Amino acid sequence: MGSASSASRVIFLDVDGRTQKVVFSRFCSPCDIKELFCTATGLSRNTTISLLDSTGAMVSIDPTMPNNSESSPYKVVPITGGQLADKEEVFQNVLTQVAEQFSRAFKINELKSEVTNRLAMLEKRVELEGMKVVEIEKCRSDIKKLREEMASRNSSFLEDNKKLTPHRDVSSYPKYMLSQQTIDALRKPTFDVWLWESNEMLSCLEYMYHDLGLVKDFNINPITLKRWLLCIHDNYRSNPFHNFRHCFCVTQMMYSMIYLCNLQEKFTQVDILILMTAAVCHDLDHPGYNNTYQINARTELAVRYNDISPLENHHCAVAFQIFSQPDCNIFANVDPEAFKQIHQGTITLILATDMARHGEILDSFKQKLKMVLIKCCDISNEVRPMEVAEPWVDCLLEEYFMQSDREKAEGLPVAPFMDREKVTKPTAQIGFIKFVLIPMFETLMKLFPQIEEVMVQPLRESRDRYEELKQIDDAMNEVQKKKSENLTVGGKKK
């Protein structure tokens, strides 16, 4: 069982000079945590609060907030929203609200309409209330700044929209013929990603999709693949680290792992497509500032995604905005059900790259592995030698028949595999071994190859033995049936 503490967070608060310990689940929402802090400090649960550290810096209130100690508790500060006294403060408050609404707006048309309406209200108040010249000039200056910011963001949005299509056409995409030496190196983790220019990296990525059979299996238009890769290139920024070369580096390592671990024998082609595509798209439009900055600076991305993996959610959004462009949609010929699986799978993998979730994902992997291990052990009798395993089959069938006899007596539904009139030992075991035991143990064998000889092979032999017994039973039943038919016919003749 996992540690209970791994699912909880402990935060220390300064409540009127004494330290209050607060414990909550890491699965709590930010709203639940704020209400808990209010209760701990004696405030009304719906009080708007800020959280300050020992230096006076604001701390984001969410499940991923930084840990503190009893010696450095956070201070909860209620935020009051009373009426301001003079007109200048009223106008400053309205302007602040406009700015806050502006920063939270997602759609540019709604943003433009909202800000325009509020600006009109401000201008009308300036005219009607006859403020002092200094106050009027200050208000107009603020209005001008807001308009300039709106125009700047509108321009930026349009530029971002243009990036959703490649800046150059496929005709200007140089075609590189990869040498056998390059192809061999491309499949190894030792591949030197620093030796290649952008166009060469694009050619290598294109080759990977062809080499893995993804272009053929998913009927990807080769020209669309080229355009998509160009668009991917154009939507990585020129950051020192999170740039297109990093995208290529991650995808090449995924490609090498697919070969090194023989993943095409273990996963479906849909899984391989998801792995490769998630690697290509996993840091699209990364601004060069991580999630901690986004949350602490209350950026538009942090607000949009409620402080939950804002960058990774943004990478997913940009990826599927690109796929929504017909010229860049490499999934155009994929059926809707498969696309739904690709869509969800790609999002899941990109979100998994958030380092804040590293411990959670590792714990989940270990927990799932432990669940598989105990399941295997619970139904493992057929792994044992025949003389040990077969008595357990007799015991199980006896218990099944006991239950089915009682169900019949009480008029309850009876499962066919428990009915003594329908089940034999071979029929009971063949399906269970073929469709439950062998697939589960073979899956575990991929992680622990050493179990093949001592566990998986005995299961295969047990399956074969029961199939032979079934053939013998079937032959004997056929003979018995013919004897019965002959006796019947003979009786009529007499």
- At 245, is the secondary structure helix, strand, or coil? helix
Q: For strands 74-78 and 8-15, give the pairing.
A: parallel
Question: Is 192 assigned to a binding site?
Answer: no
The answer on whether 246 is annotated among ligand-binding residues is yes
Q: How far apart are CA 285 and CA 313, in angstroms?
A: 11
CA distances from 265 to 8, 272, 273, 366, 433 (A): 39, 10, 14, 23, 22
Any residues with CB less than 8 A from the CB of 328 and at least 6 apart, and which?
164, 165, 166, 224, 227, 228, 231, 322
Which residues lie below 8 Å from residue 211, measured CB to CB, with a gap of 6+? 183
242 labeled part of a ligand binding site: yes
Q: Per-residue b/e over 146-176, b at no fewer than 16 CB within 10 Å?
A: beeebeebeeeeeeeeeebebeeebeebeeb
In the set 233, 242, 314, 315, the catalytic residue is 242
Q: Which two tokens stand for residue 218?
A: 């998913």
167 is in an annotated binding site: no
Contact 163, 185 (CB under 8 A): no
Q: Is there a binding annotation on residue 314?
A: no
Are the C-beta atoms of 144 and 126 separated by less than 8 Å? no
State the amino acid at position 219 in one-letter form.
Answer: N
Residues 6+ apart with CB under 8 A from 306: 30
| C-alpha closest to that of 228 among 342, 330, 339 | 330
In 3D space, the residue among 404, 406, 400, 407 whose CA is nearest the CA of residue 432 turns out to be: 400
CA distances from 323 to 114, 155, 305, 326, 344 (A): 30, 23, 21, 7, 14
Residue 406 CA, distance from chain mean position: 47
Helices (H), 261-357: 263-266, 269-281, 291-296, 300-304, 310-323, 336-351
In 3D, which of 76, 69, 9 has the Cα closest to residue 38?
Answer: 76
DSSP labels for 34-60?
HHHHHHHTT--TT--EEEE-TTS-B--
Judge whether 429 is annotated as a binding position. Answer: yes
Instruction: Indicate the DSSP class of residue 454.
Output: I
> Annotation-wise, does 358 bind a ligand?
no
233 is catalytic: no
Task: Spell out the alpha helix ranges (H) of 130-179.
Answer: 133-162
User: Active-site residues: which are they?
Assistant: 242
Residues in binding site: 242-246, 282-283, 378, 429
Residues in binding site for Zn(2+): 246, 282-283, 378
Residues in binding site for AMP: 242-246, 283, 378, 429
